[in-house]
Chain A
């Protein structure tokens, strides 16, 4: 089927691609507040609505806190709901993030990953979403603009799955993806309609059958509701796979929880999130030409954390480097590093591992930086240990 369909190519920035996906998803409500580097997404959506290309309520809220609160109301009313934000905006949404997931609202949100203040910075890192990792949302990461488009469509399929009903975020690196034009293949509106038909939200507000929403639960029931959230988030990987299989049949592009690259025989494996994966892969190819066995693993799904799949790709590695584009200050290490550490320990894998904090506030991780990093890994493997547990890679030091 898929090889017969005509190719529809467009050249779009990440922001434009996500807005286009939301338009094709025929969203009913967009509630948002502009913030760099996400602004173009809501700009485009407001234009689509104004031009009559998208039949939706476009609500500009007075803050991100209100924007997400509006989304919750809209989702409960049964509307397909979309928002997007970044950095301080996501931080301002924080308490509502927990409410969106625990009230089981299938909201889709694009996050244009950007550093947190202070100092003021508008460029990419993952501090914003890492702040939101424990909120019960499904967090997906795109490596390029095509993935940002595809994952936005898949996010609706995942969020609205009757077995799940949870909000999903699609993360793309601020500026690196949001403002870079890439050629991408798009689906037709009809294909999108087939892929994500509007299905009624099973608990929607219905005057003939009123329900209680956002209830109070005292010590005698609260913990049971939290256990429900614990259990339902664990279903996300299988729901993702289901959504991915159908997407693959339509688009010819398939997605899994992880994107393992050259891992089968790898001595050294590097793990990261977002656009850096592409540069890491390029560098890995160059190292492979020199017969240096290095592999790269990206996480398409960061929350829930794909523990089992991580173990499958890491269990034979001799040396692991985790690249963190955020830090947990005062903690054991960066957020991805601590996740990987816990997963390895739970599975009795005692491999040498270190954390490489990089790219904060949009600092480029250039090919030369990566090659230096890879060399460091092979040198450490030779010695049999790292000389530090946490490296700040590319920081100016004396």
Chain B
């Protein structure tokens, strides 16, 4: 097995020889890809309206709604792509999409 430095691959420092065969790479690797840079609009949570129902946490396709110790939620802006699903499903309309 080739020893893979994911950070180097992300930084573009690789050749066909140093990439793992067929991309069979040890996970987690997606942690190195900061997909938050793709975002045009960001979700902003109005914590005063949030009832901690966790529907946004369930629906988020990128696991970018983080559960906090108080049972509430925050957005992980490093990875949130700004799809807006959380704002759409929030029954309290506590999440607004705001232009970056």
Binding site for B on A (CB under 8 A): 102-104, 165, 202-203, 209-215, 217, 220-221, 223-225, 227-228, 231-232
Contact = CB atoms under 8 A, between A and B. Distances in A.
Interface in B13-43: 14-16, 19, 21-27, 29
A217 B23 contact: yes
Contact of B22 (A210, A223, A225, A231): A225
Nearest 4 Cβ contacts at the A-B interface: A215-B23, A224-B16, A227-B16, A203-B24
Given A225-B16, A227-B16, A228-B16, A203 B25 contact: no
A191 to B, nearest CB: 31
Contacts of B23: 212, 214-215, 217, 221, 225
Contact of B21 (A165, A209, A220): A165
A224 B24 contact: no
A337 B37 CA distance: 52
B12 interface: yes
Given A221-B19, A224-B19, A228-B19, A213 B12 contact: no
Contacts of A210: 26-27
B19 A212 contact: no
Contact of A224 (B14, B25, B26, B29): B14
B25 A212 contact: yes
Contacts of A211: 24-27
B1 interface: yes
Nearest to B12: A220
Contacts of A165: 21
| Centre residue among B21, B22, B24, B27 by max chain A CB count within 10 A | B22
Interface residues of B, number: 15
A213 B24 contact: yes
A215 B19 contact: no
A212 B29 CA distance: 9
A232 B21 CA distance: 10
A75 to B, nearest CB: 12
Given A210-B26, A212-B29, A203 B16 contact: no
B82 to A, nearest CB: 19
23 contacts: A104-B22, A104-B24, A203-B1, A203-B21, A211-B24, A211-B25, A211-B26, A212-B24, A212-B25, A212-B26, A212-B27, A212-B29, A215-B23, A215-B24, A215-B25, A220-B12, A221-B9, A223-B16, A224-B15, A224-B16, A224-B19, A225-B22, A232-B21
A314 B22 CA distance: 37
A239 to B, nearest CB: 15
A381 to B, nearest CB: 46
A212 B32 CA distance: 14
Contacts of A102: 22
A147 to B, nearest CB: 31
Contacts of B1: 202-203
B4 to A, nearest CB: 10
A302 to B, nearest CB: 23
| Centre residue among A209, A211, A232 by max chain B CB count within 10 A | A211
A64 B88 CA distance: 42
Contacts of B15: 224
| Centre residue among B15, B16, B26, B29 by max chain A CB count within 10 A | B16
